[in-house]
Structure 1
Amino acid sequence: MSSDTLNENQSLTDSSLQSNHPPQKFLLHVVGAVAFAHLLNDSIQAIITASYPMLKSAFSLNFTQIGWIALIYQLTASLLQPWIGLYTDKHPKPYLLPVGMVITLLGIALMAFATNFSMLLIAAALIGVGSSTFHPEASRIARLASGGRFGTAQSLFQVGGNTGSALGPLLAAAILIPNGQYAFAWFILLAGLAVWVLLRVTRWRITHASALLAASAKRSVSVLNPKQITRAIIVICILLFAKFIYIAAISNYFTFYLIERFQLSIQTSQLYLFAFLGSVALGTFFGGPIGDRIGRKAVIWVSFLGAIPFALMLPYANLTWTAILVMFVGLIISSAFSALVVYAQEAMPGRVGMISGVMFGLMFGISGLGAAGLGHLADLYGIHWVYQLCSFLPLLGLVTFLLPDTRAKQA
């Protein structure tokens, strides 16, 4: 069969699909709703992280115990996510979204009234379970409502989470640190608002998303062969390791670093952490739309190579340059995540829930292991030494060279 005939047949197939399932518009109200729920979810998570100095003092914890709290939370979030995504790819369970947020609400309530280290671990585990049900299903809805602008939808969804992560330290500084552990109870209101939003999103999915799911299933054709998919997944795992170990070092221990090295107060150090997390949100916002235009691999290259000089200089800078450099690193390195998620979804179409679960699961799992490991290293060698070690992590971004180019394949 000639290439002209093949092209004709492909054109007829595409036309048939388009006539049966007209191109959908970008549904901003739906993507915006799951992004807002992501903001609420991740602000709760960031409040937990920002509370570590207070918990360390209130419960007489060491860095290793702080690392264990982070590890338990991150592992419960990460281990369940791929399985939830895989299951709901085949057996949709829309109401998992609000149910998961109810579990998060229970975890926050327990954190407010915990009386010992074991109860803190159980509370962290509950919040992790709630997160594990939220991310794959909410990411799926963002993709369904994207109208084909997958990177843009994923960025808006993710920037909601990043914005929540940035707001967490400010809320902790304003409410939690001055008032102590019981002030956690105020954040039950955030979880309750998220439950309400997710109930409305779930109703939209039940009544409107069937045609979108059917159209997506019919267009599910991978542009990579099995060997390329395997290679791509290995490279993505390495990139996620580099990115999230580095971000874990900042998110979990930046306040301790600033307090020890520059003698800042806890509340002032939270403002610097907010600056970093805000730059992460901004970088995430631009990463997806740029990936839609120039390709996912190009964004990944820029993200890792661009962060290298700033990361290497950070451990040796004074306070002013520390603030500047950490914002540049956050802005640049965060732009890769949306591109990595959409790249993986394009490589393995029809497995949106599983891929989202794996990607977000790896994010939480790597961050949790990193937090525990870095906490132990900080006890042994000091927090400044840990930051010197982590400054080399962006160099692992050079493995992007091995990532197959899905944009070229599609062309």
Structure 2
Amino acid sequence: MSKKRSFSFRDRPIALLSSGHACVDVYQGAVAALVPFFVSERAYTYAAASGVVLAASLLSSVVQPLFGALTDRWAMPWLLPVSTLLAGAGIALSGLGDSYALTLVAVAVTGIGVAAYHPESARVARRASAGSHVAMGWFSLGGNLGFAAAPLLVSAVVATGGLRATPLLVLPAVLGAVLCAAALRTVRAPDGTAGTRTRSRTDGRDDWASFRRLTGAIMCRSVVFVGLSAFVSLHVRQRTGWGEPAGTVALFVLYAGGAVGTVAGGKLAGRYGRVTVVRWSYAVAVPAVAGIVLVPGPALYLFVALTSAALYVPFSLQVTLGQDYLPRRVGTASGVTLGLAVSVGGVASPLVGALADGTSLRVALAPLIALPALGWLLLRPLREPDAPGAPRVVSGAVPESAPDAPGTPREA
């Protein structure tokens, strides 16, 4: 295993990438943050509101691994600023007009932008971090902060100007595109040029069996997280009777707790190992989610915070685990662990909404308690992978990529 130097958030490439990641993930959080406003202003049912979350997640779930496979063959650093602007444009348009179909199309555009961003950004961050788990934690922290800022930003804009004020929400995308462009200028190959073809050095074989188990666990986490993101605001408003601000605070706590959890995950993994920390996180999530569903009153916020930490501690660790389980397919691993398996929860959210329409929101959230337990069972047989050596980039490419495979471009 290669020796890794220590990293801090003061490292300029990681700082820029993390800040750009925050601007992009504002738009993942914004979809769920807009749900209560769609319900109140447009009288959407729970099922219709969850359909908005599905629209943002479905295309993202499908196209994100495709972007990962593409970036295994070709460097596409230009995707970072372009996809950031695309994600912002979708949310900006989502509140315009009263057509449900056009709203779905708008948030679907956001989903595509988010999908295009994550595989390439994770590969660029891996190169900038030289494989450091702590540095990747800082990169993931940026996304978590973006999530946390989303309900506050959306509430400030939409509560004041209504859904027709959503075009103002494009501003983080503009800032994020500038930050991404600046980050790419700092993460260059040794000759200072950004190439178009990439290869990576690998020290091991792809472990698809372990990667499939990890993906299954991440999918369980995704359903829990997206389900709570879509409905915890409404749930807390019902359980406390404190109105819209109480729901906004609950969603903020769900996202903000991830900032602490992500940084803690990198530090805990350095002491106890990634797989051990990930397993314990899933175990803690079971009683934490149960508390959200079953406990009434102000104590709900404590369980929301605990759930947030339990779901976010393993977040960046799962990304680096996936990359180390598939050292020959880093882009694919990034696309799945950071994208497909995360966004797939949106596919299940309409089921939660439909069950809530037929019973109650509390009953509909109850099945989420079992999913972290299933994830823990999937993780039990996993072992810590041997991390591959530091990446070696060929042809001046920014990120690393898979080794030569049939059909992979080679240098002349």
TM class, shorter-length: 0.7 to 0.9
Which residue pairs with 2:402 in the alignment? none
Q: Does 1:119 align with 2:102?
A: yes
SS at match of 2:328: coil
Which residue pairs with 1:192 in the alignment? 174
Which residue pairs with 2:233 in the alignment? 255
Could you tell me which amino acid in structure 2 is paired with residue 398 of structure 1?
L
Q: CA deviation at 1:324?
A: 0.7
Query: Which residue of the other structure, out of 130, 135, 160, is the alignment partner of 1:178?
Result: 160
Could you tell me which amino acid in structure 2 is paired with residue 126 of structure 1?
V
- Summarize the alignment of residues 122-141 of structure 1 with structure 2, pairs less than 5 Å apart: 122-141=105-124
When residues 241 and 364 of structure 1 are mapped into structure 2, their CA distance, relative to the original with a 3 A threshold, is closer
Which residue pairs with 2:268 in the alignment? 290
When residues 139 and 210 of structure 1 are mapped into structure 2, their CA distance, relative to the original with a 3 A threshold, is farther
Q: Deviations over 1:229-283 (max 9, x none)?
A: 2321221122112211111121110011112222221122101211121112211
Q: What is the TM-score normalised by the length of structure 2? A: 0.86
Could you tell me which amino acid in structure 1 is paired with residue 317 of structure 2?
A
Q: CA deviation at 1:140?
A: 0.9
Aligned-partner Cα distance in 1 for 2:217–2:259 = 19
Q: CA deviation at 1:182?
A: 2.0
Could you tell me which amino acid in structure 1 is paired with residue 327 of structure 2?
P
Query: Which residue of the other structure, out of 79, 82, 87, is the alignment partner of 1:99?
Result: 82
- Summarize the alignment of residues 301-340 of structure 1 with structure 2, pairs less than 5 Å apart: 301-340=279-318
Aligned-partner Cα distance in 2 for 1:170–1:75 = 25
Query: Which residue of the other structure, out of 235, 240, 247, is the alignment partner of 1:269?
Result: 247
- Summarize the alignment of residues 83-98 of structure 1 with structure 2, pairs less than 5 Å apart: 83-98=66-81
Aligned-partner Cα distance in 2 for 1:398–1:45 = 28
Aligned-partner Cα distance in 1 for 2:293–2:90 = 35
Which residue pairs with 1:163 in the alignment? 145
Aligned-partner Cα distance in 2 for 1:291–1:211 = 34
Q: CA deviation at 1:309?
A: 2.5
Asked if structure 2 preserves the Cα contact closer than 8 Å seen for 1:51 and 1:177, the reply is no
- What is the aligned residue count? 384
Asked if structure 1 preserves the Cα contact closer than 8 Å seen for 2:211 and 2:326, the reply is no
Asked if structure 1 preserves the Cα contact closer than 8 Å seen for 2:253 and 2:308, the reply is no
When residues 385 and 99 of structure 1 are mapped into structure 2, their CA distance, relative to the original with a 3 A threshold, is same
Which residue pairs with 2:403 in the alignment? none
Aligned-partner Cα distance in 1 for 2:159–2:73 = 44
Q: What is the TM-score normalised by the length of structure 1? A: 0.86
Q: CA deviation at 1:80?
A: 1.2
Which residue pairs with 2:351 in the alignment? 373
Could you tell me which amino acid in structure 2 is paired with residue 95 of structure 1?
W
Asked if structure 2 preserves the Cα contact closer than 8 Å seen for 1:142 and 1:157, the reply is yes
Which residue pairs with 1:41 in the alignment? 24
Aligned-partner Cα distance in 2 for 1:358–1:408 = 18
Could you tell me which amino acid in structure 2 is paired with residue 316 of structure 1?
L
Q: CA deviation at 1:320?
A: 2.0
Asked if structure 2 preserves the Cα contact closer than 8 Å seen for 1:290 and 1:299, the reply is yes
Consecutive unaligned residues of structure 1, counting only runs of 5 or more, are 1-13
Query: Which residue of the other structure, out of 278, 288, 299, is the alignment partner of 1:300?
Result: 278
Q: CA deviation at 1:115?
A: 2.9
Asked if structure 1 preserves the Cα contact closer than 8 Å seen for 2:275 and 2:382, the reply is yes
When residues 189 and 346 of structure 1 are mapped into structure 2, their CA distance, relative to the original with a 3 A threshold, is same
Which residue pairs with 1:110 in the alignment? 93
Q: CA deviation at 1:206?
A: 4.7
Aligned-partner Cα distance in 1 for 2:252–2:264 = 19
Asked if structure 1 preserves the Cα contact closer than 8 Å seen for 2:215 and 2:341, the reply is no
Could you tell me which amino acid in structure 2 is paired with residue 406 of structure 1?
P
Percent of aligned pairs with the same amino acid = 25
- Summarize the alignment of residues 369-408 of structure 1 with structure 2, pairs less than 5 Å apart: 369-396=347-374, 397-406=376-385
Aligned-partner Cα distance in 1 for 2:167–2:288 = 39
Asked if structure 2 preserves the Cα contact closer than 8 Å seen for 1:144 and 1:209, the reply is no
When residues 47 and 200 of structure 1 are mapped into structure 2, their CA distance, relative to the original with a 3 A threshold, is same
Aligned-partner Cα distance in 2 for 1:270–1:230 = 40
Which residue pairs with 1:148 in the alignment? 131
SS at match of 1:406: coil
Could you tell me which amino acid in structure 1 is paired with residue 359 of structure 2?
Y
Report the structure, 1 or 2, having the larger helix content: 1
Asked if structure 1 preserves the Cα contact closer than 8 Å seen for 2:240 and 2:298, the reply is no
Asked if structure 1 preserves the Cα contact closer than 8 Å seen for 2:95 and 2:103, the reply is no
Asked if structure 1 preserves the Cα contact closer than 8 Å seen for 2:324 and 2:386, the reply is no
Could you tell me which amino acid in structure 2 is paired with residue 67 of structure 1?
S
SS at match of 2:44: coil
Consecutive unaligned residues of structure 2, counting only runs of 5 or more, are 390-412
Query: Which residue of the other structure, out of 156, 162, 183, is the alignment partner of 1:201?
Result: 183
When residues 310 and 115 of structure 1 are mapped into structure 2, their CA distance, relative to the original with a 3 A threshold, is closer
Aligned-partner Cα distance in 2 for 1:347–1:283 = 23
Aligned-partner Cα distance in 1 for 2:86–2:387 = 43
Q: Deviations over 1:88-116 (max 9, x none)?
A: 22111211111112222321332242331
When residues 408 and 351 of structure 1 are mapped into structure 2, their CA distance, relative to the original with a 3 A threshold, is closer
Query: Which residue of the other structure, out of 183, 202, 223, is the alignment partner of 1:220?
Result: 202
Aligned-partner Cα distance in 1 for 2:72–2:387 = 28
Which residue pairs with 1:29 in the alignment? 12
Could you tell me which amino acid in structure 2 is paired with residue 295 of structure 1?
G
